[in-house]
Structure 1
Amino acid sequence: MEWVLWMIAVAILGLAAVAASGQLGEMPSTVTDTPRPHLPSGELTGDDLRGLRFGVVTRGYSMQQVDELLELLARQLDTDQRPES
């Protein structure tokens, strides 16, 4: 009877090794459920920025959302500061 338990244990470990190597398919991609801030299209106003709220994640605000907003503002400032010809 003990050999049956050993065979089951070996089978489970073998199946785990095959699954860990990716032979049984891949894990689905991660799902992001962090709410996205609403940004109006076109130029942003001071009121748009004052009303903006970022999704809170485990360690604070979502870095990706803050980086996207900063990039958008930087591009807007770059186009506003170009000398007119």
Structure 2
Amino acid sequence: MFLFLLIAMVVVVGAVTLAVIGGGDSGALPETAPEQLVDPLPITRPVNRADVEELRLPVALRGYRMADVDDALGRLAAELAERDERIAELESALAGARTETGSGADPFTKHGEEPGQ
């Protein structure tokens, strides 16, 4: 009985090996191109929240493709730096407008009106 199971196991392993390797060119597994980033972040406009949520990075043998991750993170870092600069410019302009009005009041509220009304 043991000899029969051993022979059966060798036959099954051999059949699986031949199926994977293939008996000729027609049975071989086809070569596939590596997975690429299909929908990158938009170049023509600033990145928004929906773009980041929809971003799907392709998976490689050991995790994500580093080049695609580096590109996406680099783009997001550049966008955040631009936004930080713009926020700093607007805050300094607002501070300058407040000092010009004199009292430090918000220049966007009506006179005699409390902020938040």
TM-score interval (norm. to shorter): 0.5 to 0.7
From 67, 71, 75, the counterpart of 2:70: 67
Task: Point out the more displaced range, 70-79 or 38-47.
Answer: 38-47
State the 4+ residue runs in structure 1 displaced beyond 2 angstroms. Answer: none
Shift of 1:35: 1.3
User: Where in structure 1 are there 5+ consecutive unaligned residues?
Assistant: 1-31
**Corresponding residue of 1:33:** 34
Shift of 1:33: 3.1
The normalised TM-score by structure 2 is 0.41
Query: Matched residues in 2 for 1:49 and 1:78: separation?
Result: 16
Compare CA radii of gyration and give the structure with the larger one. Answer: 2
Shift of 1:36: 1.7
Determine which structure has greater relative contact order: mean sequence separation of CA pairs < 8 Å that are 6+ residues apart, divided by chain length.
Answer: 1
Query: Matched residues in 2 for 1:56 and 1:33: separation?
Result: 9
Shift of 1:40: 1.6
From 48, 51, 54, the counterpart of 1:48: 51
Amino acid at match of 1:60: G
User: Where in structure 2 are there 5+ consecutive unaligned residues?
Assistant: 1-32, 94-117
The normalised TM-score by structure 1 is 0.55
From 73, 80, 84, the counterpart of 1:81: 84
Shift of 1:34: 2.5
- Aligned residue pairs total 54
